[in-house]
Amino acid sequence: MVYHWQSQNVKLSGVDDMVLLPKISEDAIVDNLKKRYMDDYIFTCIGPVLVSVNPFKQMLYFGEREIQLYQGAAPYENPPHVYALADEMYRNMMIDNENHCVIISGESGAGKTVAAKYIMSYIARVSGGGTRVQHIKDVILESNPLLEAFGNAKTVRNNNSSRFGKYVEIQFGTGGQPEGGKISNFLLEKSRVVSQNKSERNFHIFYQICTGATAEMKQNLGIAELDYYKYLCHGGNNHRVDGTNDAHDFQETLQAMNVMGISSTDQSNILKLTAGVLHLGNISFKEHGNNAVIESQEELQFPSYLLDIDSSQLSTKLTSRLFDSKWGGKSDKIDVTLNKEQALYARDALAKGIYARLFDYLVKSVNSAMVTNIVSNNTGILDIYGFEIFECNGFEQFCINFVNEKLQQIFIELTLKAEQEEYVQENIKWSNIDYFNNKVVCDLIESKRPPGIFCVLDDVCATMHAVSNGVDQDLQMKLNAANGTHQHYQQWKDGFTVHHYAGIVNYSVRGFCDRNRDVLFPDLIELMQSSENPFVRSLFPEQLTAGSKSRPTTAGCKIKTQANMLVEELMKCTPHYIRCIKPNETKRPKDWEELRVKHQVEYLGLKENIRVRRAGYAYRRPFQKFLSRYAIITKETWPHWRGDPRQGIEHIMNKVNMEKAQYQLGKTKIFVKAPESLFLLEEMRERKFNVYARVIQKAFKKYFAQRQVQKQKEEACSVVFEKKQRRHFSINRGFVGDYIGVENQPALLSLIGKREKVVYAEHVLKYDRTFKSARRDLILTANALFLIGREKIKKGPEKGTFKEVIKRKLELENISDIALSQLQDDFVIIHMKQDYDSFLELIFKTEFLTVITKKVKEKTGHELPLRFSNFMDFKVKKDGWGGGSIRNVKFEQGVGNKATLKPSGKVLTVSIGPGLPANTRPQATSTIRTTKNRNNNNQSQTARPKLGTQSRIQEIQSRPLPPPSGESSAPRQYGSLRNAPPPPSEPAPPNQPVVRQSLAKIAGTVKGKDPSSRPRMETPREMNKPPVTIKTPPMPSLTLPKNGQAIRKVSAEKAPSNPSFMNPPSSGVSGEKRSSKPIPGGGKPRPAMKPKPSLPKCRALYDYQAQDLDELELKEGDIIEVFKEDDGGWWHGTLKGKKGLFPGNYVEKL
């Protein structure tokens, strides 16, 4: 799949930002959304407002790649995406130190819940780390399946419809890491427990427990087939939902309970109460005279067993009720027997009360799992039920649509009304744009004077007695009398009609008063408080007082209060908006209903939003905040601007050549018109920071590199200290390791084996029994020492050419010792235990000795002996019968730095002048120098090592020796060193500095990207290069990349029938203004947990200080579980519950 940012020849559908539409109309907006939707581009934007169209299938651009792409990117740098909005919200919260929130709105089935989950998952992915932080992230993410199981259900409009409102607040610490959170829930649609509309389901948890419970759980809970429960059959027998696996979701629900810290005992109690609600629904009544009686006493067994209450008490409380009576100053209690209708009402009220309190307990458990005392910034995510129109709209739909009216009012206040008022207050030139303000509809519903619908409803409920017949008709009459002349209210035969911002909705008043009163009778509360189960009693903590005259709070009053509190909370935050659109009612991908989408575009006010955005300013900030962010761009304003803030801002704008038409200065704020202008400022600010960061980074890297080099020099010096004279150039030079570039020569790598890691390589001379030399490539790995030569091919198509061959392979464990002279020569003799020896001459002998002694000790556990003597011998290779004799090498003091070789029979005399004393140590390199001194000394610092090395190679090549045998005639160049590759990957010393890239790039390593993309440490040779003064490059003109989108494709799902009430509603007045019965069991069921698979482990050899948030901090001896090993050196694992990266050369496998 090709993204538009990867190629300029990709089809673009419509425009990303509808502010750029050539014509602003509902038809143009719908046409643009359709083009993009048909090409699988579900996101479009209007400035900062994100418009999302439900694709009704799983899209592919929500993975790790997209998280890396949008993290830290500018809003218009990539195509519109929910990740872009989440990233902007998170970063601005950290930058401005302000609370932010995202308001997700749209009708039922438009994709609000999915958008909220993607925002939470993105924030959890990009924020900080740590054990506590990871726990908070897990709670935030796992709260979704838990609350969805108990609070979501299938409706005719949505297979996973939220039947409650949820506002999630994620609280962050000063470092941007989640420290805690809080969830506020609103108006659970508990009436769904006892009844559902046709083709709808009850809450998910009932189907999950019936299909996913184990056999033991089913026996203990009395779980039978779905058709057995009356509470699950009101909507028909459509228990299955396409794309939903209830059994699998049940396991996720249990896992979520574990994450919340809910004990197994409480989990068992939760499932018992859930099953108890189902069994309550199977209790049936019959008329006996005018009284209700239980049809079968068996129906009481399982409910009373699961609720731990007496079955006779349950029967009594469901069929009778105690009333307080006063007469002549005396009080008495009267036991009144209920009729069948009243008994059914009592049964359903008990079931709804138990389920609602159980849901509140789960929300409290989630909040307890992430409670924190840290006072910090927070990010709020509002996921609330969408605007609904059903065939029969009752009290719940009325409350849901009222909350959506309040959210629409926030959008109008902050994006249309407040923005235009701000321009006027700041003296910004502006022409007002007309729009429909739905405050008039909110007042119709919640106003006190004149009395709104809620006030009239509460007054009627206050005069109700028990279950009064005709009370709903009284409500209808009083509503018509109070609001009959309101232009957004209309009388209707079965109730009343409201002209909402989203269209006309007819509400049936049947059951309005009962559901609004929301009273659980004291008899039923006393029944539950008599339970032998402490968990059940804890859900009913009421203190029942006789003769209480206080009016109980109604459901309408609660939702009105909660909605206003929510609005106040949202108004304190910086808001972000996602406007979700539902393209069809069939729930099928690529199905586009023109009229439905146009209706949503109209009532969401997208056209007015585009007009305001087009004429307005994309960015506004108070003067001081603007200066504090962009002062770094000019040297006059950095680090502090002492003068008038307006003059400082003008100076910055002039410096970046910003046109006057692109910004205005108000009384207290600056207004920037185009996003591109803001991106220019951000880019220039970022470049300034990069320049300073490079200066700091260079000094930091150089300091630690010099310390590392000095340490290597000291280690190398100790190998030959007071035992061998030193050459002048070898004392203070840096170590490279691979001097022939083996990593870039596939032929050599194939010879030694791809799994062999090269730790040292150099061109050497090998001497035979007659002291004739032959050139070899010496390659040292962790297991062996290779001597590579060249042989001439005598047959085949490549006849006459030369190829590399292994002349000798010396296993490290077979090396007995290494012999050297006490003079400054370069000769070494490698003695073998059971084989002939190797007499070599190499330039970088000190470095070679340092590396090979380390590797031999690692391989064998023993030190490699080094012998220093001016008279040495070595065994030569057997050549024919009776071969394999001894050769001697004698060293004597001569003149000059060139070694003179005089072979005589079986003795070679090597004569060389005196070198530096054997007790010479390398000089300590100063790590603090001024830029001026570094520039003045560049030439002298860099010349010596390079020229010395070159002279030694030329010395060996020019030495007068007899012509070497056979292979010496191969056309081979040894006159210069190749470019040095990176240093070998050896066990690093403690506290070795590690240079890291940004978090976004490292995220790829965790998911399997190439870890070699991590920056490597500079090689010693690179560290010894002359320091260069950093010059700030001229700032080129900046251009923004074109925007586009990615295309995705997933399977579709079946569509239900489309009844007439599903059609787009009339706009109304608002539109005109816009233009086998189970056997009881026993025991407490405990869900079986799957054993975790074992992972390979390793032990930390050194302490390691984490350099970034996604790294693990190691202490020597720590045991780490390894998820993935990577050849690049960075491994992925877990330590003490924290997942992250750690260097592989700091550990050993167990």
Catalytic residue among 386, 394, 1071, 1129: 386
Catalytic residue among 47, 106, 109, 165: 109
In the chain, the N- to C-terminal Cα span, in Å, equals: 41
Catalytic residue among 44, 143, 155, 162: 162
Question: Count of residues for the chain?
Answer: 1150
Instruction: Decide if 1019 is catalytic.
Output: no
Residue type, 345: Y
780: left (phi over 0), alpha (psi -120 to 50) or beta: beta
φ, ψ dihedrals at 345, nearest 5°: -65, -45
Q: How many helices (H) and strands (E) does the chain have?
A: 33, 36
Catalytic residue among 113, 438, 506, 584: 113
Please answer whether residues 355 and 190 qualify as being in contact, where contact means their C-beta atoms are separated by less than 8 angstroms: yes
Spatial CB neighbours of 605, under 8 Å, sequence gap ≥ 6: 408, 411, 412, 416, 435, 436, 1074
Q: Among residues 69, 105, 61, which one has the least CA distance to residue 87?
A: 69
Instruction: Decide if 388 is catalytic.
Output: yes
Catalytic residue among 107, 142, 179, 388: 388
Whole-angstrom Cα distance, residue 734 to residue 727? 14
Catalytic residue among 32, 54, 99, 108: 108
Q: What are the DSSP E strand ranges found in 993-1114?
A: 1097-1100
Q: Beta strand 886-893 with 871-875: parallel, antiparallel or unpaired? A: antiparallel
How many CB atoms lie under 10 A from the CB of residue 954?
A: 13
Pair of tokens at residue 721: 């200290």
Whole-angstrom Cα distance, residue 283 to residue 299? 5
Query: In Å, how far are 274, 498, 843, 1074 from 502, measured between CA atoms?
Result: 36, 10, 85, 11
Helix (H) or strand (E) holding 873: strand 871-875
Spatial CB neighbours of 404, under 8 Å, sequence gap ≥ 6: 105, 384, 385, 386, 387, 500, 502
Residue located via tokens 């036991």? 335
Instruction: Decide if 161 is catalytic.
Output: yes
Helix (H) or strand (E) holding 346: helix 340-369
Residue located via tokens 């005399």? 909
Instruction: Decide if 108 is catalytic.
Output: yes
Instruction: Decide if 158 is catalytic.
Output: yes
φ, ψ dihedrals at 742, nearest 5°: -60, -35
Instruction: Decide if 199 is catalytic.
Output: no
What are the beta bridge partners of residue 912?
893
Please answer whether residues 657 and 1015 qualify as being in contact, where contact means their C-beta atoms are separated by less than 8 angstroms: no
Query: In Å, how far are 72, 250, 251 from 245, measured between CA atoms?
Result: 37, 9, 10
φ, ψ dihedrals at 1097, nearest 5°: -125, 160
Please answer whether residues 442 and 409 qualify as being in contact, where contact means their C-beta atoms are separated by less than 8 angstroms: yes
Q: Beta strand 100-105 with 378-383: parallel, antiparallel or unpaired? A: parallel
Residue located via tokens 């339970």? 531
Whole-angstrom Cα distance, residue 325 to residue 319? 19
Pair of tokens at residue 6: 């990867």
Instruction: Decide if 197 is catalytic.
Output: no
How many CB atoms lie under 10 A from the CB of residue 667?
A: 9
Instruction: Decide if 162 is catalytic.
Output: yes
Catalytic residue among 44, 152, 161, 850: 161
Whole-angstrom Cα distance, residue 229 to residue 235? 12
Pair of tokens at residue 1137: 């519950």
Q: Among residues 515, 520, 522, 504, which one has the least CA distance to residue 556?
A: 515
Please answer whether residues 44 and 14 qualify as being in contact, where contact means their C-beta atoms are separated by less than 8 angstroms: yes
Whole-angstrom Cα distance, residue 50 to residue 71? 17
DSSP state of 416: I
Whole-angstrom Cα distance, residue 886 to residue 374? 80
Pair of tokens at residue 669: 């704020």
Whole-angstrom Cα distance, residue 840 to residue 815? 14
What are the beta bridge partners of residue 872?
889
What stretches of 222-263 show up as alpha helix (H) in DSSP?
A: 246-259
Q: Which residues are marked as active site?
A: 108-109, 113, 158, 161-162, 386, 388
